[in-house]
Amino acid sequence: MKITDLKVLRANRSVFCRIYTDEGIVGLGESGAWGFLEASAAALETMKEYLLGKDPLEIEHHWQYLYRFSHFRGAAVMGALSAIDIALWDIAGKYFHVPVYKLLGGKCRDKVRVYNHTAGRTEEELVENAVKGVEEGYTALGHLNPYLDEPRTKAYEDGNAAMLYKAERRIAKIREAVGEEVDLCLELHRRLEPGLAVQLSARLEPYNPMFLEDPIRPDNFDAMGQVAGRCRIPIATGERIHTVHEFEMLLERGACSYVRASLGVCGGFTGAKKIAAVAEAHHASLVPHNPLSPVMTSAVLNFAAATDNIAICEYPNPYAASTADHLTVSGVKLRQCDMVDHIPEFKDGYLEVPEGEGIGIDLVEGLEEKFPFRPHKILTRLNADGSICDQ
């Protein structure tokens, strides 16, 4: 079996690739480069030349070749490699007539626990949506932002004291509203400096969050390690790093309890397997990062089914136009579920494991025409004084 073609598809807020073979088997993958999807699509076109004529089942070799050939990499390049890797595993599953999870070692679990994206532009809306999530059947609420999902065009005006008090008040209200049985996964969007992050963690301890995600900018592993060492709430981080080597350095510093590796930028199944092994050696669990389409959700579910040290998975709303549209309430009427042939069943806080061949999902015909590509615009929030506000 040989690879005959690679085609890039740009649709909605996503970039996919299809890899074709001379035996008629087609693999599907998705890039997770998020804000730089156009660059990732270009990287896919570059990598195509290498793949033509190759055996698609030599996945590890192709991964190493594309990972190491250019000496330079980043999110756009790793997003392309991730899409290719997922597509190659999809081909392998279809070739052997099994779900990808069987090729990764078989099931470690029969269903996958997930958390939703609980958004809120106001305190009242945040609490209301938290209650709604529980009513929908979620046993964990995620992407809970104690600083709200306000428009990026609105200047952020709170000082340190207000940041602490408001965050504590909002999480206290959510805990009271949803009870003691629901896990709260807090997304801090890199908003704080290390000292303030430690202060906030101490104030939030009574409400028992499952984790604090990216309380500070995650670029400095030493700084994240210092925060984690002084906080009694577990830290989650990792969505912005790409390689097993970076994750090893992160874990060696004790910088997190939950690893937020993204299959869309860490090298697909092949990269995520390596990261999971390193995490296991450090007694750390994975919470796969996934703000992407149902294609990536299906890939994540296969990975989670076959990986023991998965704590919980992020589940982007398939009935919204995209995660960005959901969190900002953009009003766009598209639905991601209409981009694919099906979505997994959700019940009592869990998603079913895909049982179809490969990753177990496909795109609808005419995708690019039905869902015109919408690139992310460069827009970040500012503080009241005009400086950058992470959100």
Annotated active-site positions, please?
A: 189, 289
Asked whether the beta carbons of 284 and 251 are under 8 A apart, the reply is yes
CA distance readout (Å), 184 to 156, 187, 351: 24, 10, 18
Q: What is the Cα–Cα distance from 285 to 77, expressed in whole angstroms?
A: 26
Cα–Cα dist 123/185, whole Å: 17
Parallel, antiparallel, or unpaired: how do β-strands 381-382 and 3-11 relate? unpaired
Structure tokens at 94: 């279809």
Amino acid sitting at position 209: P
How far is Cα 359 from Cα 18, in angstroms, rounded to an integer?
13
How far is it, in rounded angstroms, from Cα 234 to Cα 341?
A: 38
Q: H/E element holding 87?
A: helix 75-96
C-alpha separations of 216 from 105, 172, 236, 321 in Å: 36, 22, 11, 29
Beta strands in 149-291 (DSSP E): 183-187, 211-213, 235-237, 258-259, 285-286
Read out DSSP for 236-275?
A: EE-TT---HHHHHHHHHTT--SEE---TTTTTHHHHHHHH
| Host H or E run for residue 3 | strand 3-11
